[in-house]
Chain A
């Protein structure tokens, strides 16, 4: 990878984002709506209880959880599986192959460019909305930095797994089913809809050995200071380990996919 080339690609990503800016701005205006829903849902659940804490979450931290879930979501958002599928169907693959960079870094730079704009235009506003209206508190400097690092790693895990699933398009051609399943499964097991601590214990134990919780749940718990410093260090190392594993697998699968591409022609 050379850095100057990648920055050039990221700039393309920013341009692509420019074309979609309207959609993103709408998302910004409408997504706080789902925070309102979660706010009322948990308010009525907490008011119906005697205890004030559910599995480590106070009402305030529960709402903060959803604000943060949204923020991490903006950062990790990707549709690279769709891009892969569309590029294969419409025969644009060749364009990507002709670029003087590896295929993966072409997509990844595009994605980073888009997400940089996402961060500026959505993540920061949602942070502000969270602080003003949903009782989000600032985290300690250590946790803030660890959160930022963890979210950064989350992006690579999320992107890597999505890319890996997207590569199946080389064999299946149409992967709209896989994409839909990906959204459901990733969302659910990463903790987008419900903190994973509310899941049954046996499930939580299994989750520790899967990459999903490192795509969203773990960074959030870091921010909310629900885990200790040692656990944070451990979590970050596991994230790095997952990244290494996932990108090694991508490398291997890509070789096969490329072989298939050049032999079948698709």
Chain B
């Protein structure tokens, strides 16, 4: 309850700040949308020049891309600036102020770093998914859709977890901007379906850095339905990944509060 209040307060504050420069606000909103449309546009060009990706026709791939955009959008709204914000607070020696507030530090930081532009992405992604699902004749009001939404929320925790890991590493090691850069590059592996990659990478993207759940598994659920085994493969690694991130955060906080940064 308090968290909802906080996060809306923050979003409101950022929105008002950005809105003070109206042109910039509208162009930025537009730019975010344009950036998202590039993926589907590239897909269209690839599919009109080639037979496309094995196992995926154009609309299926479009649905895949749309899913990716939704997840990126959620990640951006609620977690994408978390690591960056924390790292710069550590760098500037200004982290103490977050510990002085009577609220769980991680939740407070998440509220502070809310980014409303991510909602534009969620909207664009939803439109792309709805459009391609209609073209494919997939009914949208089924259990599969519920599972799809559930998997998308699961996928959000990969982004959140990654941000928490990078933030924690900022306390445990110096210069973890490197990890942030690495994470952003690794995220790009989610842009194409799992079956494109070799077996080693597939394993890595499913179990170790479970980014496959941010696009591949949810799209599969809508296209081919959900199986228990597939859901387990999609969800369990994320649960482990996220738990590890929280453990790491607690270690980091312990270290910070005993060593003073």
Contact = CB atoms under 8 A, between A and B. Distances in A.
A contacts B: CB pair < 8 Å: yes
Interface of A: 22-23, 26-27, 29-31, 33-34, 36-37, 40-41, 43-45, 47-49, 54-55, 172-178, 180-181, 184-185, 187-188, 193-194, 198-200
Classify the interface of chain B: helix, strand, loop or mixed.
helix
Most B-side CB within 10 Å, residue of A23, A175, A177, A200: A177
B16 interface: no
B28 A177 contact: yes
Nearest to B34: A184
Given A44-B53, A177-B25, A181-B31, A198 B188 contact: no
B27 A178 contact: yes
B34 A48 contact: no
Interface residues of B, number: 41
Interface in B191-226: 191-192, 195-198, 201
A30 B23 contact: no
Contact of B46 (A45, A176, A181): A45
A221 B241 CA distance: 43
Given A172-B21, A172-B23, A184-B35, A198 B177 contact: no
Interface in B22-57: 23-32, 34-35, 38, 41-42, 45-46, 48-54
B38 A177 contact: no
A174 B181 contact: no
A34 B185 contact: yes
B182 interface: yes
B196 A40 contact: yes
Contact of B192 (A31, A41, A180, A187): A41
A242 to B, nearest CB: 23
B178 interface: yes
B186 interface: yes
13 contacts: A33-B189, A48-B54, A54-B49, A172-B21, A172-B24, A173-B24, A178-B27, A180-B35, A181-B30, A181-B34, A187-B38, A194-B45, A200-B48
A181 B45 contact: no
A184 B24 contact: no
A27 B38 CA distance: 23
